[in-house]
Amino acid sequence: MYSFDYHKPTALDQALDLFKGADDPIFLAGGMTLIPTMKQRLAAPTDVIDLSGLDVLKGIALSEAGLSIGALTTHNEVATHPLIKLHLPVLAQLAATIGDNQVRNRGTIGGSIANSDPAADYPAALIGLGGTVVTQSRSIAGDDFFLDLFETALHPCELITRIEFPLPDRAAYAKFRNQASGYAVVGALVADFQGKIRVGITGAGPCACRAIGIENELMKDLSVDVLDHVEVPDAGFNSDIHASAEYRAHLVKVLTKRALTQLLSQKNAS
């Protein structure tokens, strides 16, 4: 790892000032992506700004609009928090599939979403649930947040403070897990908001996206069989040692079916 200066601000303004005053700064949350990347010398920031002292990035709250989850909430906190298990069980279940226990004890929801890894799990939830990313200066709709491989709508000095999720009547997530890392080769989150269906896909393309074609078919007929007739084109999908683009397109369909089967077996909350 190259050398850097370490800072641990205790207020948001202080964090932003430190960022603006440094040559090539980076924010540090759980470090479960950043530290391995720095160890491999793929990232070489001059200044590391540790967010863990910022209380405004913490906490979980329920409101009329849904659940608001602080950026620093760890994957294991999401997996086990009573409010999340009760009101948004799909998110708790998703978080429990991330990596391994040690990673879930450190990694954060804000870090995962800011990172936009094409195989990360939370992006499927942000898109599939139609969530919102809140930063120190604005709210960004989940649909507009992921731009490309490791690229998001965040400006350089913009911090995610919390993620807001509306509560669906029912929702389910299915994932084809990479056996070595736990990451999603493909993952699909299907949500039902009073008949309005959203499908968020991760792992297939350069960043998470909605499957609008599938959503439209499901809004006509919310059944697993309908998916047999849907074409999923593989154009633009990733091809790597784990799976070809063609296989990923196949998985989109299979995993959407699995998520939908699970969703249909749930009692409709409304």
Ligand X SMILES: Cc1cc2nc3c(=O)[nH]c(=O)nc-3n(C[C@H](O)[C@H](O)[C@H](O)COP(=O)(O)OP(=O)(O)OC[C@H]3O[C@@H](n4cnc5c(N)ncnc54)[C@H](O)[C@@H]3O)c2cc1C
Contacts to ligand X by CB under 6 A: 26-34, 36, 51, 57, 71, 98-99, 103, 107-108, 110-112, 114-115, 117, 120-122, 159-160, 181-183
Nearest-angstrom CA–CA distance, 156 and 179:
34
Instruction: Kindly state the smallest distance separating residue 139's Cβ from ligand X, in Å.
Output: 14
Give the angle subtended at the CA of 120 by the CAs of 60 and 143, to the nearest 5°: 70
Residues 3-42 that bind another protein (CB under 8 A): 3-6, 8, 28, 31-32, 35-36, 38-40
Contact status, residue 162 vs residue 180, Cβ threshold 8 Å: no
Instruction: Kindly state the smallest distance separating residue 15's Cβ from ligand X, in Å.
Output: 10
Determine if 93 is a binding residue for another protein (CB under 8 A).
Answer: no
Report the half-sphere exposure of 199 (CA within 13 A, side-chain side): 25
Nearer to another protein by Cβ, of 38 and 191: the residue is 38
Q: How many helices (H) and strands (E) does the chain have?
A: 10, 14
Enter the tokens of residue 241.
Answer: 């040692």
Q: How far is CA 38 from the centre of its chain?
A: 22
Nearer to ligand X by Cβ, of 27 and 165: the residue is 27
Nearer to another protein by Cβ, of 102 and 270: the residue is 102
Nearest-angstrom CA–CA distance, 174 and 163:
21
* Residue ranges binding another protein (CB under 8 A): 1-6, 8, 28, 31-32, 35-36, 38-40, 48, 50, 52, 76, 99-103, 105-106, 180-182
